Structure 1
Amino acid sequence: MTKNLLIHNGTVVTPGTLIPRGSVFVENGRIAAIATSPLPHPARLAETVINAQNCWIMPGIIDMHSDAIEAELAPRPTSRLPYDVAMHELERKLIGSGITTIYHALSLADWDSLRWMRQTEMVRDILNHLRAFARESDRLLTHRIHLRFEVANLYAVPYVREVIQSGWIDELSFNDHTPGQGQYRDIEQFRHFLVSHRHLSREEADNLLESRMQHAKVEWDVLEELAGHARAAGIPLASHDDDTVERLDLLEGWHGRICEFPISLDVAQEAKKRGFYVVMGAPNVLNGASTTGNLSAQEAIEAGAVDILCSDYYPPSLLHSVFALVRTGLEMSCAVNMVSLNPARALGIAGDKGSIEVGKEADLLVVGTLKGEVPDVKSVLTRGRVVTSVVRQGR
């Protein structure tokens, strides 16, 4: 790794302000100085210099909920690619999207028989491979694990307890995808999804709906126990698809602090009022609506009820959503905070990551624009190391 590096002549995006023609000086992997021209000493003697003319200098993106590993492992329903191939190629795609810290969302949902990677034994295997992959010294970004525990997966409770107490995960969420509530509260819409996207016959879809609606769930006292283990281990706890205030009561009782994908604006606003970090999907911003007919991210952002955007299923959406929000009038610093500082705070890593501030790890992006509005990643640094760059290096 280069001992010291300078990015200069770009607009630096800090948590509260923009610094035109600003500079960021990196030393030993951390941000040592932030300044305007002229360059401070010893920045003038930097070993590597990146000229960010006409570009933004912003913090690396933190994606706290990404299912992308599933699509990389199984790009077709019947395919199953080797772990090393899928993880290596996904990492390159993530860096190209400006993501420097990824929380891989692994779903423990045994009832989802159409997705092999969500079976408990497969999740165990994927998690083990991801942990080994993350420990390799030449990784391009920071890899972490977000375990999504489906509350109908009774069989997985011992495993969830094991990974929490072993410190093998970095975020835990409780998910309930039972039809008739939450994301699938509109049963007819879910039936249509099963027929049109999962290619089930109507009879097969009806049988699946009936089976899921009748399926037993983990008792609430067991979930409270797991939440207690997570709290003791310092693992952030999130809810998922909250559709009532009562669901927020449960999260509050479990000392959780993250409300993922609230179904309606009133629930999002109540979550915000209670001090939870409210998370919406960046694809929702770009689509202009939820794919399941639930809360519009844009509507919730305009109402001041959203803190964080995550990629959900499409990693490039994060950076694109930042620029889309700026075009609607949101300040650049505020938009960038939604994909960097705010998730860092929610996940308890803001001491090292999430913003351009002196002393923090130098996870940095140099971003230009195509046709004046489409973001184009020029350079990516992780912990001060240039992992990709197409911008001219020099003064």
Structure 2
Amino acid sequence: MKTDTIVLGAGIVGTSIALNLAMRGRSVVLVDRRGPGEETSYGNAGLVERASIYPVAFPRRISALADVALGRNPAAHYHWNALPGLVPWLFAYWRASAPARILNYARTIETLLAHSLAEHERLAGASGAGHFFREGGWLKLYRTEAGLENERGEFPLASQYGLSAREIGVDEALAMEPSLRPVFRGAVIWSDPHSVSSPGGVTQAYAAHFAALGGHVRRGDARTLARLGAGWSVTTEEGGVEAPEVVVALGPWAMDVLRPFGLRLPLQVKRGYHMHYHAADGAALSRPVLDEEGGYVITPMVGGIRLTTGVEFARRDATKTPVQLDRTETLARQLFPLAARAEPEPWMGSRPAFPDMLPVIGAAPGQNGMWLAIGHQHLGFTLGPITGRLLAEMMDGETPCTDPAPFSPHRFG
């Protein structure tokens, strides 16, 4: 089968790229070993996080580092045997988390975040996925005054970019979400983000629209990617596919494909877990709720109340160790009347991350006809559609909607 473009990876990023290219009239084959939205894009908190100008940064205070090292921070966990291989990456992550560099990160990521809601709305409207989306922002709860004070430090920068963050008291928070229990000291409502009831469902709807436009979704192993003259080929269950251009949007598996072609990019993974629960006594949520110091989010999904954990540093393919889920479930039950678990096993996924916390979007160094869209870490669902638009514009030689230079893979040398 011959086509214009092969897109490897059917998560929200790859699917959004394939859809954007198909909407421009290209013939595209989207290849994944599983169905669209069944891997990392399935297991997030479902936020289109318009307001996430501050990254999930590496702790800089000694006390915060000690909390992680000693297992006192429920938002973080690590495997000892993974740390030796992570040391250079963690050091670069620590450097990128310096206050001055955080401000530079905010200026850079804002150029993508500014388009995040509109691009999701455009694809959702075309794909009939609007019913998954809801407004109302998300609620961040704080158990201590120190936590609240830290959050207040984000308000000036948020205001600079026209974002709405408002501190509220316990009573107002409970009026917004009556099923919560008052185990917190204060809260902040961030009004700009949207959320969805099924991230996987949204991705599947985008993929279905892609197929309706004539795109092809194929099961296959991206590691079969090979040079074919001036173009590329990949093997799928329905036979080989050939194209002059290929997009690698494989998230945590990207380097499995890129290393054989000599590409060396500092991509690592941040693992995370989730579990769905039934709600007890008719309890309900209308938006995502973050227990900042508890290290988890609870959010209403089609499968029940989803509890998502923070970060686990481990080898990508290591056995599951959902200790964070067990710790945070105890805290979540204090906050919200969770009933029984709705699934027999916790879900686990891997967020692909570069140490500077920015994604790579652009042409692959030294590989004519190869394009990259990887490393979106905690913002993959948020940035999938704008990444699709930006990359499609670059591939078609148009003036892009925002400067892609900060996201170039060449920044790593």
The TM-score, its normalising length taken from structure 1, stands at 0.27
Q: Which has the higher contact order (CA 8 A, sep 6+)?
A: 2
